[in-house]
Amino acid sequence: MAHGLRLVYHRPIMSNIPSHAAPERPITLVGLMGVGKTTIGRRLASRLSRPFLDADAEVESAAGRTVAEIFADFGEAAFRDGERKVIARLLDEPKPVVLALGGGAFMDPDTRALIKERAISVWLKADVDTLFERVMRKPGQRPLLETEDPRAVLERLHAERAPVYAQADIVVDSDAASHDTTVQRLIDALQAVQQGQ
């Protein structure tokens, strides 16, 4: 790839995404906490002149309570069901959006199938060292890491989720590079889809 960019295609996505349709589909960003889905998503949306939406924020708005409260009051199954319905609505917006998903959304088989059918999925990938350094900058904002050994939790999540995230249409490194560099990598990958590469 140009400029030494590392863009990984795990399957021939052109068989699933016609080149003429690629720009018209919503773009969903998946990955672990700390990978930069919101920051990169906002910048990507700006570059593409698209609306940016955060799935967790939209779920909270629809439910009138926080994600943590939904989990506590109704359990994960109810949360995932509501999350799937919200994501389905967002993917049907009249103007295709850039949508940042919560870390667990893509793990749900039904949600994953919905995204495969209606959107282009992008795994923003980073190693555990990079993720841990980023999430520790803002203590208290990651409930899953409020444990005695947050790094062990992050390592476990990485091991469990990476094989599923790898099913995304596009994989882009979001490592120690700047957010702008990652956005450019993602735009290059989307252009490659559009051009049938």
Q: Look-up: residue for tokens 């080149």?
A: 19
Distances (CA, A) of 95 to 39, 149, 183, 188: 20, 42, 20, 21
Asked whether residue 19 is assigned to any structural domain, the reply reads yes
Confidence (pTM): 0.82
pLDDT confidence band for 71 (50 / 70 / 90) = confident
Asked whether residue 183 is assigned to any structural domain, the reply reads yes
- Tell whether the model's pLDDT for residue 176 goes beyond 70: no
pLDDT, tens only, 1-22: 433 333 443 333 333 444 444 4
Asked whether residue 102 is assigned to any structural domain, the reply reads yes
The number of domains in the chain is 1
CA dist 34 and 124 (Å) reads: 10
Asked whether residue 119 is assigned to any structural domain, the reply reads yes
pLDDT > 90 fraction of the chain, expressed in percent and rounded: 43
Q: How does 72-83 read in b/e, with b if 16+ C-beta sit within 10 Å?
A: eeeeeeebbeeb
Asked whether residue 197 is assigned to any structural domain, the reply reads no
Query: Domain of 39: which CATH number?
Result: 3.40.50.300
Query: Which of 1-5, 42-46, 168-172 is predicted least confidently?
Result: 1-5
What residues contact residue 73 under an 8 Å CB cut-off, 6+ apart? 65
pLDDT at 21: 44
pLDDT, tens only, 19-32: 444 458 999 999 99
Q: Could you list the residue range(s) of the whole structural domain that residue 154 is in?
A: 2-192
Q: Which two tokens stand for residue 159?
A: 């091991």
- Other residues' Cβ atoms within 10 Å of the Cβ of residue 45: 19
pLDDT, tens only, 86-139: 999 999 988 999 999 988 899 999 999 999 999 999 999 988 888 877 776 665
pLDDT > 70 fraction of the chain, expressed in percent and rounded: 80
pLDDT confidence band for 179 (50 / 70 / 90) = confident
Q: How far apart are the first and last CA of the chain?
A: 11
Decide if 19 contacts 194 (C-beta within 8 A).
Answer: yes
CA dist 14 and 35 (Å) reads: 26
pLDDT at 144: 61
Decide if 16 contacts 88 (C-beta within 8 A).
Answer: no
Of the ranges 48-52, 70-74, 148-152, the best mean pLDDT one: 48-52
Asked whether residue 138 is assigned to any structural domain, the reply reads yes
Asked whether residue 111 is assigned to any structural domain, the reply reads yes
Query: Checking DSSP bridges between strand 27-30 and strand 120-125, what pairing results, if any?
Result: parallel
pLDDT at 143: 57
Asked whether residue 112 is assigned to any structural domain, the reply reads yes
